[in-house]
Every structure is written in structure tokens, then in C-alpha cells.
Amino acid sequence: MDVDAGSVAAFAALLADRTRAGICLALIDGRAWTAGELAAHTGVARSTASEHLTALVSAGLLAEERQGRHRYVRLAGPGIAALVEDLAGAVGTPRPPVSLRSARAAGELSAARTCYDHLAGALGVALFDALVGADLVRTRDGLALTGPGREWFTGLAGETALWARGSRPLLRTCLDWTERRPHLGGRLGAVLHRELLRREWVVPLPRHRAVRLTPVGATGLADLLGRDLGVPA
């Protein structure tokens, strides 16, 4: 691969800044945020946040859209989200909670959360383990969807579940930064999350990125996968 080392170093330097890294980690929830929201989240002045956003947009890490006077930004796509997620998985270690409220929030995020457009935390890892255990996804000699796996996903979400969309891989594993084990990303990770939301088998919680497996969802997934996930509902 013919890549200029200086370009790689310049790109990496963008995330070497604590505020810019904090912005990208916040945006891994897949939503669009305003500069003011990101400034408050990272604890910097709005003008400072705007400067960082301009640098990240110029480098292609973020995409922006304007509505009236408001400027919204989001991660530029699944590939950038995967990059941020991999960095978090490689170096991220949860900080010890300093209050009962933060301990509860940390517990909710560790149990089940979104990571861009797919499920993470104990729930995400349990789902991936169940898919592998049921021979719907294979990990030997690389990640692969089996014949029964194709039928399972199309039965869950219809024929469009397997349709190609851009260059995003059908299957991808991500190292979960709380569980330290893989969960499912890629197009099918997004399909699974979207379908579970539609069925209300998982529901969003008020806290940032946290979701909860419902009792109906736990029963439905156990029936579809032939095993209990072992995750509290």
C-alpha cells in the first residue's frame, strides 16, 4: 500500500487532541449534534468547539449540514465510526464512577448501548456469541455468514437485509470497550439493531446511548436463536 507517512501522521494528530477525541466519541451515537451541544459535552467554549469541528470536517472525519442558523455535525460514515470504535476498544478503559448517579449510568451503558448504528455492551456481545453458537455466523478462517445465517437475517428483516449498500462490509466485529470481547458491526449489525428497535425488543433509555432489552425481546430472541442470551431484561 503506497501511503504517505506524513498524511497518516497528520490524520492521527487530529485525534491526539482531547477535545477532538471527545467530540468523535460523543458522535459515535450516530446522531447529529450542534456545536453548542458538543461544546457543553466536552467542556470548552463554543468558539473553541467550532474551530475543532471545522478541522474535523475538513479532514473528512465529520460531515455537516446546516438548518437555518444551526450547524449540525455527525460522523462522516460507518467507516469513520468503525475507526473511532476500534480506537476506543484498543485503549479505552471505563473510568471508576464517582457518584451513585454516574455508577448507574456506567452500569446501563455497560449492559446495553448503541455504538453508531449497532448494539454494544453485554447485550451486543451476547448477541454475537449467540449468532456464532447457532452457526449463523462463523469466525473460523475469517468472519462469514452461513447459509442458515442468510435465512435467519432475511426472516428477521426481509430480503433487503442482505442488499449491498456502498462499500460497508456485511459483517464486521468490533472490540467492545467495556466487555473486551467482540460485538457485531457492519451492515448486519445495523440491520439487527434497527429490527429490534422496530419490534420494541430493545428500547432507548434517557441516558446517552443506553438501551434496554425488554422481556418480550428476551423471549423473542431466545426463540429465534434457540438459546437464552443470559442478559437481564
CATH number corresponding to 5-76: 1.10.10.10
Give the model confidence (pLDDT) of 28-62 as tens digits.
Answer: 888 889 999 999 999 999 999 999 999 999 999 99
φ and ψ at 172, to 5 degrees?
Answer: -155, 140
pLDDT at 8: 83
E runs forming strands in the chain: 33-34, 62-67, 70-75, 113-115, 118-120, 137-138, 144-145, 172-175, 182-185, 202-204, 211-213
Alpha-carbon distance of 91 to 12, in angstroms, equals 15
Encoded amino acid at 151, one letter: E
Domain boundaries, given as residue ranges, for the chain: 5-76, 96-225
pLDDT of the residue at 168:
86
The three-state secondary structure class of 98 is coil
Residue 64: which H helix or E strand, with range? strand 62-67
pLDDT in tens, the chain (233 residues): 566 788 888 888 888 899 999 999 888 888 889 999 999 999 999 999 999 999 999 999 999 988 877 789 999 888 888 888 778 777 755 555 555 565 566 677 888 998 888 999 999 999 999 999 999 999 988 899 999 999 999 999 998 888 877 778 999 998 887 888 999 999 999 999 999 999 999 999 886 788 999 999 999 999 999 999 998 88
Rg (CA), the chain: 19
Q: What is the pTM of this model?
A: 0.75
Whole-angstrom distance, CA of residue 173 vs CA of residue 150: 17
